[in-house]
Chain A
Amino acid sequence: MKKLLLVSIQIFISFVLLAQDGKPTEDKGQFSGNFQSNFQGYVKDSAIGANTTQYEKELSSADAWLFLNYKYKGFNFSLRYDMFNNTPLFDPFVAFTGSGIGFWQISKDIGKLNLTVGNFYDQFGTGMVFRAYEERNLGIDFAVMGVRAIYSPSENTRIKAFSGQQKYKFNLRDAVVKGVNVEHRINITDDLSTELGGSLVNRTIDQTTMNTIASTINSYPIENRFDPTYNVFASNFYNTLNYKKFSLYIEYSNKTPEAIMGKDLRLYKSGGDVYYTSLSYSTKGLGISAQYKRINNFQFKASPLIVSTSPAEQGLINYLPSLTRQNTYRLLARYNAVVQELGENALQGEVTYKVNKKTMININGSAVTTLNGIDLNNKEILDWNSTTRLYREFYIDVQHKFSSKFKAMGGIQSIGYNQTVFEQKANAPFVEALTPFGEITYKFNTQRSIRVEGQYLMTKQDLGNLVNVLVEYNVAPYWSFSVSDMVNTSHGALNAPKPGEAFKLVHYYNFFASYTYKTTRITAAYLKQVAGVNCTGGVCRIEPAFSGARITLTTNF
């Protein structure tokens, strides 16, 4: 493995040197890259629960990624150096240290065929049966190490096939994953088109893992034992039908029976499936969409024995999209519905209406229940009760541009959130929260602007009421400064003071500055961040509170 890496580095360097030494008239190829580094200093604050290992021992952490890419005569060479020093990225409760080649790839276009060896990221359709991706903020790097072929016989048809192993930090998962995917677009008329797709993915468990699975099953009572399988096959079929301003998407994914890990951390044998559909209508000034998804035991990992609350450690082969709104404001994004791979129903509807050139309204509603929560055969399709409810959200905002210098936005969000399920907090009551919010932006001139945002989250559960105010001052194109404070103004069910003691205000302040020069950006912040579920790109993880300093540097070249 190390030899292979050395060879790949050598080939990479050789090609770069070859390009540099070539005659001026020759194609020297194209060299590009980017660099990102994060530094965190930890300042212990037991009052907010910032007391993980980094606060006790390591006191600081640093991560860095240097990505290099070189294109030459149809070849594409990529190499990425990763460094993690005491990082909480993979698991927020553990400090991980390691460095080395985190990604390398050689790719070549041969006519209509593209061949890739090494690491690659890819996904089939929405990713429900296969998605190899990186989500750096969550420590996720599910690149596959192997071989991939993409064949495009026509501009409407594409066939992909791959075989490999999933990357895990600087090693590989033992399971072998392989798959094929075919997509084809048919333009029936000018107004009507359809995009068909289908995939088949196979994962084979290695002998050592299977021995442990068999041994675990053999420790169960005889009536609970079952024959596990080395191979599992996941398939899906999907289609997007476009008719004028309407678009209908349907997808069905299925997985053959295998050993899966239940919530009680016992193995069960089960197949699984996912139904997913969305209907959207879009015209000038108006967009309407509705989505539905039903997941039934669709756990698809490199090994069913992997148990972790951190997605980076879970070895997920697929990606199950969330059907809830991805909020950005600090308090609106406090409660997130982590996708329940073992079973959930999810509904979402959204309307975006542009009243005129100055005013726009967004309305969004979503609900997530257990598998029993929605039954299409019942008169009352949605059964929302204490045993079925997982998440619901109603959101509305109105944006208005008063002038070229001044714009404002206001709205309200109502949330219902099953903290016991999503954050695994035993006996935590169901959170009901109402959050009015607003934002104003004023441009002094073409360079200088100020933005003020505020949210007030009201709840009797969890940590109680929280208010957040942020003031941001921008001096384009170089500087940006912001100061914010999120204050816990009253206690909730989980942080009630001891009898006889008064509740003390808890501040989560944030001082932030950034400097941008061309393609380089440096940020520095001193902040306190509340514990909760952090979601990026629909993938979520439970994170402890943070207290300390963050410095980042990113650049492209």
Chain B
Amino acid sequence: MRMKNLSILFLFIAFIACKEVPPPINYEASKKLKDTTYTISSIPIPQAKNVLIEDISGVQCVNCPDAAVISKQLMDANPDRVFSIVAHPNLPALKALVEPINKEGHKSKYDFRTGDAVKIIQMMGVPGSLPSGYINRKLFTGETSRILGRAKWANYTNTELPTATQVNIDLHNEFNSSTNKGVISIKATYTSAVNKKQFITIALIEDSLIDVQEYSDPITFEVKFNPDYVHMHVLRDVITYATGDPLSESDITIEAGRVFEKEYAYDLKIDDPTNNEIFNVVPKNAKLIVFIHEDTPDLNILQVKEIAVVE
């Protein structure tokens, strides 16, 4: 009888679980305005390969400011070659680290969390702790995961920088300050053939957001609050679908000399349904990061470029 009860218990343990969170499926209407493709016979010289650091962060994550410092050092050392997106995922599993602060007399002005960040990390793998990040979304040799601790960012960034890219990205942006809306034009030129389905992602980030951040005192290791912390490269929206739009709906193999020209409309008034907050991104602090990457399971970023909304 005891064994019988155990069997019933086993059944419950095995099968009763929380409702699962589905993977990101894009039900949004595309913001694409233009989509053309053609080939050129004169293949341009490949651009130097740039690096995107996707820094998964949270305002209650005491070591996240340290990760931001590492990103900044890498960007300063490699101007226009290294870019950063600081993503605050609105994910219950990371709630204790990413939820806006409201304790010990400190209260966040902003909610940096986005549903787009959740979709990205669902695709890339949810980190067990913060700060964590992805370097060009690559699974580096010797690593078991694309999720990397900040101590590894410099090494892998420097590994990626000397490599050549297979696709050149050229960007042009037109912003209408009266409507706070703009159109970004992207030209992607393949300098060598690829045989994995290609995706494009356009992320809108915002700099210079001053708001409270928890941090660890470097001497006493006490948890403290910095009410004047300057949040940089904060992911505010993804103009394409969060996990990217297919560069070509049909083609998997793309030949050298293939050019894709696309235009996407964007709006600095953001309505993120996951945190019930409508906010306006400040144009002079806004930047668009465009990157081309492979389909699952590879996911690798082939090239990344950044352009300011207001030059």
Chain A residues proximal to chain B, CB less than 8 Å: 112-113, 151, 153, 159, 161, 163, 178, 180, 200, 202, 207-208, 210-215, 217-219, 222, 225-231, 233
Q: Which partner residue on chain B sits nearest A223 by CB separation? A: B27
Kindly provide the distance from the CB of B195 to the nearest chain A CB, expressed in whole angstroms. Answer: 16
Known contacts A151-B3, A161-B10; decide if A214 and B23 are in contact (CB<8 Å): yes
CB < 8 Å neighbour of B296 from A180, A208, A227: A208
Question: Is the C-beta of B295 less than 8 angstroms from some C-beta in chain A?
Answer: yes
Known contacts A163-B14, A180-B10, A214-B243; decide if A225 and B27 are in contact (CB<8 Å): yes
Known contacts A218-B241, A219-B246; decide if A228 and B22 are in contact (CB<8 Å): yes
Known contacts A163-B14, A212-B297, A214-B123; decide if A226 and B7 are in contact (CB<8 Å): no
Please state if A200 and B15 are interface contacts (CB–CB under 8 Å).
Answer: yes
Chain B residues proximal to chain A, CB less than 8 Å: 3-4, 7, 10-11, 14-15, 17, 20, 22-27, 29, 123, 125, 197, 241, 243, 246, 249, 295-297, 299
Contacts of B24 in A (CB 8 A): 214, 218
A208 to B297, CA, bound (A): 6
Contacts of B20 in A (CB 8 A): 229-231
Please state if B7 and A151 are interface contacts (CB–CB under 8 Å).
Answer: yes
Please state if A211 and B297 are interface contacts (CB–CB under 8 Å).
Answer: yes
Kindly provide the distance from the CB of B282 to the nearest chain A CB, expressed in whole angstroms. Answer: 31
Q: Please name the 7 residue pairs, one residue from A and one from B, whose CB atoms are nearest each other, closest first.
A: A211-B296, A227-B22, A214-B23, A208-B297, A215-B296, A212-B296, A218-B26
Contacts of A210 in B (CB 8 A): 23
A231 to B23, CA, bound (A): 12
Contacts of B243 in A (CB 8 A): 214-215, 218
CB < 8 Å neighbour of A153 from B3, B11, B123: B3
Contacts of B15 in A (CB 8 A): 180, 200, 202, 233
Please state if B22 and A229 are interface contacts (CB–CB under 8 Å).
Answer: yes
CB < 8 Å neighbour of A161 from B14, B125, B295, B297: B14
Contacts of A180 in B (CB 8 A): 7, 10-11, 14-15
Contacts of A212 in B (CB 8 A): 295-297
Please state if B10 and A211 are interface contacts (CB–CB under 8 Å).
Answer: no
Known contacts A112-B3, A214-B25, A214-B296; decide if A219 and B11 are in contact (CB<8 Å): no
Known contacts A112-B3, A180-B10, A202-B14; decide if A213 and B249 are in contact (CB<8 Å): no
Kindly provide the distance from the CB of A259 to the nearest chain B CB, expressed in whole angstroms. Answer: 10
Contacts of A225 in B (CB 8 A): 25-27
CB < 8 Å neighbour of B249 from A208, A217, A219, A226: A219
Known contacts A200-B15, A211-B296; decide if A161 and B7 are in contact (CB<8 Å): yes
**Sampled A-B contacts (30; CB under 8 Å):** A153-B4, A161-B11, A161-B14, A163-B14, A180-B7, A180-B11, A180-B14, A202-B15, A207-B125, A208-B296, A211-B23, A211-B299, A212-B295, A212-B297, A214-B24, A214-B25, A214-B123, A215-B243, A217-B25, A218-B24, A218-B25, A219-B249, A222-B29, A225-B25, A225-B26, A225-B27, A227-B22, A227-B23, A227-B25, A231-B17
Contacts of A215 in B (CB 8 A): 197, 243, 295-296
Please state if B10 and A222 are interface contacts (CB–CB under 8 Å).
Answer: no
A212 to B4, CA, bound (A): 41
Q: Which partner residue on chain B sits nearest A207 by CB separation? A: B125
Contacts of A112 in B (CB 8 A): 3
Most buried by A among B20, B29, B296: B296
Please state if B23 and A213 are interface contacts (CB–CB under 8 Å).
Answer: yes
Known contacts A214-B25, A215-B295; decide if A178 and B14 are in contact (CB<8 Å): yes
Contacts of B3 in A (CB 8 A): 112-113, 151, 153
Contacts of B10 in A (CB 8 A): 161, 180
Kindly provide the distance from the CB of A213 to the nearest chain B CB, expressed in whole angstroms. Answer: 7
Please state if B25 and A228 are interface contacts (CB–CB under 8 Å).
Answer: yes
Contacts of A159 in B (CB 8 A): 4, 7
Contacts of A233 in B (CB 8 A): 15
Known contacts A153-B4, A226-B25, A228-B25; decide if A211 and B246 are in contact (CB<8 Å): no
Kindly provide the distance from the CB of B203 to the nearest chain A CB, expressed in whole angstroms. Answer: 17
A200 to B13, CA, bound (A): 13
Contacts of A151 in B (CB 8 A): 3, 7
Kindly provide the distance from the CB of B254 to the nearest chain A CB, expressed in whole angstroms. Answer: 15
Q: Which partner residue on chain A sits nearest B21 by CB separation? A: A230
A159 to B26, CA, bound (A): 43
A269 to B254, CA, bound (A): 31
Please state if B11 and A200 are interface contacts (CB–CB under 8 Å).
Answer: yes
Contacts of B11 in A (CB 8 A): 161, 180, 200
Query: With A113-B3, A180-B11, A214-B24 given, can you name 17 additional A-B contacts, CB distance below 8 Å?
Result: A159-B7, A161-B7, A161-B10, A178-B14, A202-B15, A207-B125, A208-B296, A211-B123, A211-B297, A214-B25, A215-B243, A215-B296, A225-B26, A227-B22, A227-B23, A230-B23, A233-B15
Q: Which partner residue on chain A sits nearest B29 by CB separation? A: A222
Contacts of A211 in B (CB 8 A): 23, 123, 296-297, 299
Kindly provide the distance from the CB of B24 to the nearest chain A CB, expressed in whole angstroms. Answer: 6
A222 to B24, CA, bound (A): 13
Contacts of B17 in A (CB 8 A): 231
Contacts of B297 in A (CB 8 A): 208, 211-212
A378 to B295, CA, bound (A): 49
A335 to B265, CA, bound (A): 59
Q: Which partner residue on chain B sits nearest A210 by CB separation? A: B23
Kindly provide the distance from the CB of A134 to the nearest chain B CB, expressed in whole angstroms. Answer: 26
A217 to B10, CA, bound (A): 35
Kindly provide the distance from the CB of B23 to the nearest chain A CB, expressed in whole angstroms. Answer: 4
A175 to B204, CA, bound (A): 36
Contacts of A208 in B (CB 8 A): 296-297
Q: Which partner residue on chain A sits nearest B26 by CB separation? A: A218
A200 to B14, CA, bound (A): 10
A202 to B14, CA, bound (A): 9
Kindly provide the distance from the CB of B20 to the nearest chain A CB, expressed in whole angstroms. Answer: 5
Contacts of B249 in A (CB 8 A): 219
A212 to B15, CA, bound (A): 25
A112 to B298, CA, bound (A): 48
Contacts of A153 in B (CB 8 A): 3-4
A14 to B159, CA, bound (A): 48
A213 to B122, CA, bound (A): 13
A38 to B20, CA, bound (A): 47
Kindly provide the distance from the CB of A115 to the nearest chain B CB, expressed in whole angstroms. Answer: 12
Contacts of A218 in B (CB 8 A): 24-26, 241, 243, 246
Q: Which partner residue on chain B sits nearest A179 by CB separation? A: B14
A112 to B15, CA, bound (A): 24
Most buried by A among B11, B17, B197: B11
Contacts of A200 in B (CB 8 A): 11, 15
Q: Which partner residue on chain A sits nearest B10 by CB separation? A: A161
Q: Which partner residue on chain A sits nearest B199 by CB separation? A: A215
Q: Which partner residue on chain A sits nearest B14 by CB separation? A: A178
Kindly provide the distance from the CB of A24 to the nearest chain B CB, expressed in whole angstroms. Answer: 38
Kindly provide the distance from the CB of B291 to the nearest chain A CB, expressed in whole angstroms. Answer: 16
